[in-house]
Amino acid sequence: MGDDFGDGGGFGDFGDGGDDGGGDGFDDQGGADDQNGGDPDDQQPDDDQPPDDGQNGDDQNGGDQDGPHDDDNLDDVFASSDDLPPVDDDVFSSADDFPNAQPADFAEDTGGWSADDYQASAENLFGDHPYFGDTLVQQKIDEGFQPYQDAGFGAGFDQIAPGTADNVQLFERDGGLVAFGLVSQAVLQLLMARYTGIDWNNIEVATPFKGEPVPPQPLPVAFANVAEQDAVDLRKYCTPIADQGQTGRCSAFAWTHATEMSRNILNAPPVRLSPNYTMLEIQRYQGDARDYQYAYEGGDGTAAGPEPGELLAEHGTCRQELWPDDRPTPTVREEKLEADAEQYRLEATPWPIAVDNVRKVLSAGCPVHVSLNTGKAFSDVGRDGVFNAAEAASGRHGRHAMLIVGYVGNFFTIKNSWGTDWGDQGYCYVPRNVLAASDPEFVAVLIRKPE
């Protein structure tokens, strides 16, 4: 039926399919309804009510203020293993817990592993996963889609932005075309405008690099002395997978989930928090805040470095029910958001680290925020969640931020914010070589045991 779809030049015959990309995949985002919910009688702000932009960059949230931990001597704060967070022993595993694995699977790759080595290790470590070897194509076929190939579309996509055809795959179902993959927000808007007959609602978006790279710092002594485990899995402390939709809020989601996770590790009452409010505060810090809608959309992304985490450590973020993930505006006035946020701070010190120290931080029971270049592997990950070690991430279409919550050998377990239909129920397993080659930035979330 390829002739019916033409050469990719215009697909208005298949409906408009290109709505505003808001997405509706927020089923798992119910707020913490039992967590002292917002007063339903509060007056809801107008949809276009702007935040107080007088705070852009110069006051308590200003971009010139030092972070809350700048004057701390972290070697004193984290002086011994007694200062490390109180995680349960069952988050750690040894090589003996993986009966199909070889000792070599747990030897850290310092640059000598080939793509074939990673493939063999993946089979040893993840081969018993029910979907091992899965691809996006196979997943969509199982869901009733059929791959749709048309050279005209690929050429047209690459005219809009080189390399787009590598990151976008088309499928046909019920007489319509549906796109899956990953592009930047700017490219998505151009694709939606040109190909109005394609359903673009399942495309994920990446963000541009923002700010200046922050050099890694040495680990505090307690973390530097941690013995690396063969495997770490902190997912028991994670809150449910979220869906950021087609917005640039990835880092806000990752930092918000780190805040939720730090509370769980410290045995505080569980709560779901608001990435939207986090994004608003980040934009104010960066000096590019506009209004609530702009915060919901993610604006121009989040700057590099530990400062977004430091904002959460100092000012916190409000509960999700006061500003749900899928809502462009909050449900209460801003003074209530601010007061609520003060109760839910990141109980940790954000600290930039190198890739060589990520396993130590995880072995100490702490997650790591990561931002990295995106690539084709993001667009083709299947239900096993395992990235292809042979595909280096170019970053041609932008970057993405997530939260590292464990590892097995040389594969890092990462919590994403693209819903549970992506990867292994919202998680993925990224080979160390892919991570190291993706121009990554790691910010450890150093959690201290309460005194």
Tens-place pLDDT, residues 359-409: 999 999 999 999 999 988 888 899 999 999 988 777 788 999 999 999 999
Rounded Cα distance, 189 and 170, in Å: 17
Kindly state whether residues 155 and 280 are assigned to the same domain. Answer: no
User: Considering only CA atoms, which of 160, 166, 193, 196 is closest in space to residue 182?
Assistant: 166
The mean pLDDT value for 26-52 works out to: 40
Whether 16 is in a domain gets the answer: no
CA atoms 228, 234, 237, 242: torsion sign: positive
Last residue of a domain, one of 185, 205, 225: 205
pLDDT of residue 30: 37
Rounded Cα distance, 359 and 408, in Å: 10
Phi, psi of 151 (to 5 degrees): -60, -30
Q: Are 337 and 317 in contact (CB under 8 A)?
A: no
Rounded Cα distance, 53 and 109, in Å: 47
Whether 70 is in a domain gets the answer: no
Whether 151 is in a domain gets the answer: yes
- Full domain range(s) for residue 247: 81-131+210-446
In this structure, what token pair is assigned to residue 290?
């506009």
Kindly state whether residues 310 and 431 are assigned to the same domain. Answer: yes
Whether 270 is in a domain gets the answer: yes
pLDDT of residue 29: 36
Rounded Cα distance, 402 and 369, in Å: 6
Kindly state whether residues 297 and 171 are assigned to the same domain. Answer: no
**Between 253 and 29, the higher pLDDT residue:** 253
Whether 1 is in a domain gets the answer: no
In this structure, what token pair is assigned to residue 187?
């490219």
Rounded Cα distance, 382 and 414, in Å: 14
pLDDT of residue 36: 39
Q: Give the number of domains in the chain.
A: 2
Outline where 132-199 has alpha helix (H): 136-142, 151-160, 164-167, 185-194
* β-strand pairing of 427-431 with 168-173: unpaired
**Between 27 and 171, the higher pLDDT residue:** 171
The mean pLDDT value for 249-263 works out to: 98
Kindly state whether residues 191 and 316 are assigned to the same domain. Answer: no
- pLDDT over 90 (residue 273): yes
CB-based contacts of 120: which residues, under 8 Å, 6+ apart?
none
Kindly state whether residues 229 and 198 are assigned to the same domain. Answer: no
Number of other residues whose CB lies within 10 A of the CB of residue 110: 10
pLDDT of residue 72: 57
Tokens 């996509």 identify what position? 157
Kindly state whether residues 301 and 416 are assigned to the same domain. Answer: yes
Per-residue pLDDT tens digits for 340-370 = 999 999 999 999 999 999 999 999 999 999 9
Kindly state whether residues 349 and 247 are assigned to the same domain. Answer: yes
Kindly state whether residues 168 and 223 are assigned to the same domain. Answer: no
pLDDT of residue 392: 76
Rounded Cα distance, 7 and 91, in Å: 52
Whether 379 is in a domain gets the answer: yes
Rounded Cα distance, 417 and 96, in Å: 32
Helix axes 334-341, 275-286, angle to 10 degrees: 100
Sheet holding 176-184, edge to edge: 146-147, 168-173, 176-184, 198-206
Last residue of a domain, one of 205, 226, 246: 205
Whether 59 is in a domain gets the answer: no
Kindly state whether residues 280 and 318 are assigned to the same domain. Answer: yes
* β-strand pairing of 231-233 with 92-93: antiparallel
Kindly state whether residues 393 and 245 are assigned to the same domain. Answer: yes
In this structure, what token pair is assigned to residue 373?
């270049």
- pLDDT over 60 (residue 288): yes
Kindly state whether residues 313 and 349 are assigned to the same domain. Answer: yes
**CATH number of the structural domain spanning residue 415:** 3.90.70.10
Kindly state whether residues 193 and 291 are assigned to the same domain. Answer: no
Whether 44 is in a domain gets the answer: no
Q: For the CA atoms of the chain, what is the radius of gyration? A: 22
**Per-chain mean pLDDT for the chain:** 87
pTM: 0.85
User: Considering only CA atoms, which of 321, 291, 402, 309 is closest in space to residue 351?
Assistant: 309
- pLDDT over 50 (residue 142): yes
Last residue of a domain, one of 171, 189, 205: 205
Q: Are 387 and 377 in contact (CB under 8 A)?
A: yes
